[in-house]
């Protein structure tokens, strides 16, 4: 963590920067409170040092494109702040809360939904700040599911995670504790036996891990995921659909089948949120639908995630997918299979 690439000078020692990358890094460094540059040495090792168009490199090194703001883009596209009853808690769904415990990440993604807050250093974390969130959860018995996120909560120390988990685990109505993290992909060394010992104490622990591309599935990542699985952690993969990075059936199939091999079940494929400066990453919705159609029936069903759009303004996640129901013909429903062939399924209207 201490050796992360954070400045123009450090980036130039590793990468052959384009003029756009160089100016973007400079502009970001001159603006406090904006999404900074941050790349772990490990993650830098899987990025192309000379080819700026490499997909993974584009997700980590800023370019001038992220200063272009489209009309539909917002600093808080999901309306999280409108659903935040107290600092650090986002309560959009009746039985689930998002618990933001840090604004710090090991590596900053250029399309981050929370780019308005991560890396700013203005977010105060620690037990004294988390207690209000714990009290809120405890005071609302309808909350069954707590998603710990940020920033990346796995950058917190083992003792702090132990403290936080012990308090949440002690609340009788909290049935699920989840982590939203990219640490296993960008800092697999963080997944130590000691961390796994902490997680093992508070079952069931679920982990939504942000993976972007099959090139991330290195031997180090495989070892990290195996340690988590052996500790009883249930892992699901979350991927953001990104133009020129992973927006093809072949890439997504390789990623999702690769995740299964490291014991992570692909869960969500997210349409890129309209956060400020993200237009160059966003694809048409149809791209995601076509990818799902190209996976369904052509690989194991476990490798087919849900394609989700997070409704702008706080409407929540909405599943989108290919339409396999063609209509009705009398008592038959007409269905299209993965090969585009039409089949009839008798489904009489028992109400009539």
Q: What is the pLDDT of residues 264-300, one digit of tens each?
A: 999 999 999 999 999 999 999 999 999 999 999 999 9
6 burial class (0-12, 13-18, 19+ CB within 10 angstroms)?
middle
- Name the one residue in this structure whose structure tokens are 């010992």: 197
Q: How confident is the model at residue 120 (pLDDT cuts 50, 70, 90)?
A: confident
Instruction: Determine the number of helices (DSSP H) and then strands (DSSP E) in the chain.
Output: 11, 12
Start-end of H helices in 111-246:
127-138, 158-169, 183-186, 193-200, 219-230
Can you list the domains of the chain with their CATH numbers?
A: 68-320 (3.20.20.70), 323-352 (no CATH)
Closest CA to 180 of 102, 74, 84: 102
244 burial class (0-12, 13-18, 19+ CB within 10 angstroms)?
middle
Instruction: With beta carbons less than 8 A apart as the criterion, state whether 40 and 6 touch.
Output: no
Q: What is the pLDDT of residues 180-225, one digit of tens each?
A: 999 999 999 999 999 999 999 999 999 999 999 999 999 999 999 9
Largest alpha-carbon pair distance within the chain? 74
Task: Find all residues with CB under 8 Å of 344, minimum gap 6, and list them.
Answer: 329, 332, 333, 334, 335
- Whether the predicted pLDDT of 147 surpasses 80: yes
pLDDT of residue 352: 46
Q: How far lies 316's CA from each of 308, 310, 319, 328, in Å?
A: 10, 5, 10, 31
């Amino acid at each position: 963590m201490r050796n992360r690439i954070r400045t123009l000078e450090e980036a130039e020692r590793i990468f052959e920067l384009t003029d756009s990358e160089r100016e973007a890094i400079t502009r970001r460094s001159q603006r406090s409170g904006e999404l900074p540059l941050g790349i772990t040495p490990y993650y830098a090792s899987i990025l192309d040092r000379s080819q700026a168009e490499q997909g993974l490199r584009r997700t980590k090194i800023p370019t001038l494109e992220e200063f272009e703001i489209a009309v539909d883009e917002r600093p808080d596209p999901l309306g999280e702040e409108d659903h935040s009853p107290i600092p650090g808690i986002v309560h959009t769904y009746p039985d689930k809360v998002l618990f933001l415990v840090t604004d710090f990440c090991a590596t900053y993604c250029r399309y981050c939904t929370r780019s308005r807050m991560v890396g700013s250093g203005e977010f105060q974390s620690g037990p004294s700040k988390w207690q209000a969130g714990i009290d809120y959860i405890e005071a609302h018995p309808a909350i069954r599911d707590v998603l710990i996120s940020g920033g990346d909560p796995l950058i917190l120390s083992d003792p702090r995670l132990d403290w936080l988990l012990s308090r949440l685990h002690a609340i009788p109505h909290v049935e699920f504790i989840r982590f939203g993290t990219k640490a296993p992909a960008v800092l697999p060394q963080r997944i130590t036996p000691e961390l796994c010992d902490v997680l093992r104490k508070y079952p069931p622990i679920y982990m939504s891990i942000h993976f972007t591309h099959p090139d991330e599935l290195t031997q180090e990542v495989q070892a990290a995921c195996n340690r988590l699985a052996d500790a009883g952690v249930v892992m699901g993969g979350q991927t953001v659909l990104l133009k020129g990075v992973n927006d093809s059936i072949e890439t997504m199939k390789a990623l999702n089948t690769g995740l299964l091999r490291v014991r992570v079940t692909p869960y969500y494929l997210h349409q890129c949120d309209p956060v400020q400066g993200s237009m160059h990453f966003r694809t048409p919705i149809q791209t995601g639908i076509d990818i799902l159609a190209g996976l369904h029936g052509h690989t194991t069903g476990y490798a087919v995630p849900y394609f989700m759009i997070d409704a702008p303004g706080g409407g929540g996640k909405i599943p989108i997918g290919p339409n396999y129901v063609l209509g009705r013909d009398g008592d038959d429903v007409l269905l299209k299979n993965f090969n585009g062939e039409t089949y009839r399924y008798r489904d009489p209207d028992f109400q009539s």
